[in-house]
Amino acid sequence: MVKKRRQRPLPIPPRPRRRPWSREFRLQVAVITAFVLFLVTIVGIIGFALFQDYYEEHVQLPNSKAVRVGETTINLDYFARRLGLYLTSIGLQDTSQAQLAFTSAITMLESEEMLLQRAPTDLGVSVSPEEMELELGELLGLTESNPEAFASAFEQELERSDLSEEEYRTMVEADILISKVQEIFSQSVPAAVEQVRVRQILVGTEEEALSVLERLDAGEDFGDLAGELSLDSATKEEGGEKGWQARDEMDLTYAAKVFALEVGAPSQPIPGQGGYFIFEVEEREDDRELTPEQQTRISNSYLSYWLAEQRTLLALPDVQPVLEDADKVQWALDKAFESLG
């Protein structure tokens, strides 16, 4: 038997020898790598800036503090939505008057929150579930006797107001509370009180007021000087006449001084809103009956005194957080006016 010859294995070609990178090639690689890293860094910086802007615009600012009342903080997003509702209620479309509306919206939310926190404990006033549902029904023009229609109308109202159900119910609760508190204070107004018939002259500076006193001392008529000099358009043409006034109708800064005057004697210059006042009491009655208009004004003044007291008890800041940051103000205004469109 013939043996098969074993085949010799094929020769393995030698591995090619790797040539070392040239200096020029290494330099090119380094330049390309640096450029790629530079691009990545630039893209990262731009991406981070865009993310930061988005985070600030859509997360940080909306959730930042706007109004603080006691332990309760109202965030900027809710404030802006309520500002939009307030602008709608007063029919304001012009941004030139936005600052006044902005301040009024802050006062409105402060008052609401003070009522919600303090009326139940300080005045014993609260809102029952039945009162809440009745008020909602009146606002929607429906009752819960038709649950489907009520639910549909309520859903539309929430969409219109851009409020959640909880936010909307809280707003309505505050409205009910203010009505109840006003009723309490109106019942505490007496039927008759001490009153004075008073007239006034309002000028811009203390020096002008002293000049008016000199002319009065020289014998000039109070009414004529009021018509000539007074800055108060409501009384100027009437010779400064304000009519019969009760103490609680007047500004606290000068009420006591006016009631201390002798009939016919002008007051010294009294600082007040808009400048300096000179008052003169023309008549006085110890027990004069209040008109319905006076009773309403006095009831409102009682409410104002109560709210001022609650501001002190709850240590409300003199300047709310929303007014301390121009970016917050602009963001809230933009969102509020956007809702009007």
Task: Concatenate the DSSP letters of all residues of 261-294 into one string.
Answer: SPTTPBPPPEEETTEEEEEEEEEEEEEEEPPHHH
Tens-place pLDDT, residues 279-297: 999 999 999 999 999 999 9
pLDDT of residue 54: 45
User: Which residue would you say has higher pLDDT here, 33 or 173?
Assistant: 173
pLDDT average, residue stretch 18-31: 65
Q: Which of 20-29, 112-121, 232-241, 322-331 has the lowest mean pLDDT?
A: 20-29
Structural domain span for residue 82: 65-188+305-340
Q: Do residues 126 and 274 share a domain? A: no
Domain-ending residue, one of 289, 313, 332: 289
Q: Do residues 79 and 179 share a domain? A: yes
Q: Do residues 183 and 79 share a domain? A: yes
pLDDT confidence tier of residue 147, bands split at 50, 70 and 90: confident
User: Which residue would you say has higher pLDDT here, 96 or 188?
Assistant: 188
The total number of structural domains in the chain stands at 2
Q: Which of 55-59, 157-161, 196-200 has the lowest mean pLDDT?
A: 55-59
Query: Is 272 within a domain?
Result: yes
Q: Render the burial of 160-182: b for 16+ CB within 10 Å, e for the rest.
A: ebbbeeeebbbbbbbebbbebbe
pLDDT of residue 44: 65
Q: Do residues 177 and 197 share a domain? A: no
**Percent of all residues in the chain with a pLDDT value above 70, rounded to a whole number:** 84
Q: Do residues 171 and 137 share a domain? A: yes
CA distances for 152 relative to 60, 140, 292, angstroms: 34, 10, 41
φ, ψ for residue 281, nearest 5 deg: -90, 125
Q: Do residues 71 and 184 share a domain? A: yes
Q: Do residues 184 and 313 share a domain? A: yes
Q: Do residues 313 and 198 share a domain? A: no
CA distances for 108 relative to 65, 69, 113, 174, angstroms: 16, 12, 9, 10
Tens-place pLDDT, residues 195-204: 999 999 999 9
pLDDT of residue 9: 60
pLDDT of residue 14: 60
Q: Which of 102-106, 138-142, 169-173 has the lowest mean pLDDT?
A: 138-142
Q: Do residues 180 and 210 share a domain? A: no
pLDDT of residue 319: 93
Query: Is 103 within a domain?
Result: yes
Q: Do residues 96 and 118 share a domain? A: yes
Asked whether the beta carbons of 242 and 199 are under 8 A apart, the reply is yes
What residues does 279 pair with on adjacent strands?
200
Q: Do residues 162 and 232 share a domain? A: no
* Residue 43: Cβ within 10 Å count: 10
DSSP structure string for 218-239: TT--HHHHHHHH---HHHHTTT
Q: Do residues 142 and 221 share a domain? A: no
pLDDT average, residue stretch 32-46: 71
pLDDT average, residue stretch 50-67: 69
**Element holding 242 (H helix, E strand):** strand 241-246
